[in-house]
Amino acid sequence: MPIRSIAIGAPGEASHPDAIKASLAEFISTLIFVFAGEGSGMAFNKLTNDGSTTPAGLVAASLAHAFALFVAVSVGANISGGHVNPAVTFGAFLGGNISLIRGILYWIAQLLGSVVACLLLKLATGGLETSAFSLSSDVSVWNAVVFEIVMTFGLVYTVYATAVDPRKGDLGVIAPIAIGFIVGANILAGGAFDGASMNPAVSFGPAVVSWTWDNHWVYWVGPLIGAAIAALVYDGVFIGQATHEQLSTDY
């Protein structure tokens, strides 16, 4: 099971040049992603004079996030793995693919990247609001938690299948596209209900800059649970100890 592979990491890892470079890559990738994703929502609000969300607006948000995540994962993949998401990092940690120390560095970098992106958006737009994620009317916090669990499960499961699985072969080439697609599709499914975050960093930046924390915990609890389930299922069932042993005999 994945739990056996969990690693804390050496004390000196936090100051190792590779870890610092990887964290910087996560900061930049998350900044790129949040700037485009949150920026697309701000642009929609400007064009509609803060009107209500329309189906066209939802499609635009889906496309902006899918395209931006495709790029953000691609540019960070060779340096940090292109997590761009604390939930993905958490899932990778549970599968033994990243140490706790490096995972914490990634989390800090991702959260800072999101905050800086939102600050830059506020500056560039002349002070427009960076709207925090919120629940639609008649959507309870538990409805939203279930949405976030299921959507993040799909995201992290896709990450494992296309980027983490050692048997991925040429499939790894399309990993950033697949990851962007599942996020875009999930926004079409859940965006009208709770904003479809799937990413605590994406929710954190706007919340900090707008200082709006209503139901913010939903956007941490749901994604982390969904990521944990996906990691445990994929690594424990589809990769498994037998696969690890087979791979070790192939080299």
Give pLDDT tens digits for 173-185. 999 999 999 999 9
Q: Angle at which helices 200-210 and 86-94 pack, to 10 degrees?
A: 140
Q: Which of 41, 226, 33 is nearest to 132 (CA)?
A: 41
pLDDT (0 to 100) of residue 207: 97
pLDDT above 50: residue 66: yes
Under the banding of pLDDT at 50, 70 and 90, the label for residue 3 is low
| Residue appearing with tokens 């949150």 | 38
pLDDT (0 to 100) of residue 251: 28
pLDDT (0 to 100) of residue 208: 98
pLDDT (0 to 100) of residue 5: 72
**Tens digits of residue pLDDT in 39-49:** 999 999 898 88
Q: What is the mean pLDDT of residues 20-25?
A: 97
pTM of the model: 0.93
pLDDT (0 to 100) of residue 52: 74
Q: Give the span between the Cα atoms of 222 and 68, in whole angstroms.
A: 22
Percent of the chain having pLDDT more than 70? Answer: 94
Q: Give the span between the Cα atoms of 161 and 81, in whole angstroms.
A: 14
Collapsed DSSP state (helix, strand, coil) of residue 54? coil
